[in-house]
Amino acid sequence: MSKLVHQLYISVLVGIVVLTAAFLFYKGIPYYNTSLEERFYHPDHDWFKPSGLFGHGLGIVGTLLILIGVFGYIARKRYKFLARFGRLKYWLEFHIFLCTLGPILILFHTAFKFGGIVSISFWSMVAVVLSGVIGRFIYIQIPRTIEGRELTLSEVKKLKNDLGDLLKEKKSLDEASSVLIMESVSGGDRAKEGNFFVRNMMHYLDDKSKVRTVRKTLRSNNIPGSEVREIIKIVKNEISINNKIERLQTMQNLFKYWHVAHLPFAIIMLIIMVIHVCVTLAFGYRWIF
């Protein structure tokens, strides 16, 4: 899948989630805005209530999407023969799509009324979604191969370009400027104490400042614009790899701890979901079947 096709693929998935949520809000907002005591008298109550034709259908479809998203991704990770059907990265993105769209449908299935044992499943689902967002952030911080395998520290270091050799080819670049540019991508010792988010924000601003300094230095040496863009691209790549090397062990540890939090909520959600479905069938709610 080319970069353009991949961007289109992600855009389509995001568009489906956004448009579905917008459509459900548009169609049901008059009913959902009605107080619980008055909903029984609302003309669309038989349609939008959790056991109604529309509301019940949302619950069924939402549950199926979650089950497909969860067990499909687990199967792709466990069974190697499924690798022929796409890289793990794309399966993860589709897993995130299904496990975002599914909970949205279930949210509207509940008609924003939470109670009893089902509320435990719902809030577990919310916890799974939120922890999934955090897990996705941690996941993309860990360098991986194009197939999705996690890279070792030595493999990450091999991704670095030989910026020094490139700068030596630029005859119009003086030695002091070359040294300054090399220092900007050297990584160096940076503050590792303090709040994680504040520290990373400071590092982000520092990296932006370094790139501006390199660009200014290149232009002051009358380096052609095309070469400036080439060097800046390499500088940004070097800084990005340095940051990944710096954070690699921390992110790997966080990812291990994340699994400890994510999995129990998912199991609780699935168990209570099964109980809810069994109770619903026992009371004769068959939807259109």
Task: For Cα atoms 37, 289, 16, give the angle at the middle one, nearest 5 degrees.
Answer: 70
pTM of the model: 0.67
- Taking residues 215-224, report their average pLDDT: 79
SS (H, E, C) 221-281: CCCCHHHHHHHHHHHHHHHHHHHHHHHHHHHHHHHHHHHHHHHHHHHHHHHHHHHHHHHHH
pLDDT at site 153: 60
Among 87, 83, 127, smallest CA distance to 103 is for 127
pLDDT tens, 51-66? 888 988 999 999 999 9
**pLDDT band per the 50, 70, 90 thresholds, residue 20:** very high
Cα separation of 44 and 25, whole Å? Answer: 14
The more confident residue out of 13 and 158 is 13
**pLDDT band per the 50, 70, 90 thresholds, residue 105:** very high
H-helix or E-strand spanning residue 72: helix 53-78
Residue with tokens 């034709």, as numbered in its chain: 53
pLDDT at site 280: 80
Tokens read off for 191:
């503050």
pLDDT tens, 73-94? 889 888 888 888 888 888 888 9
Cβ–Cβ < 8 Å for 120, 272: yes
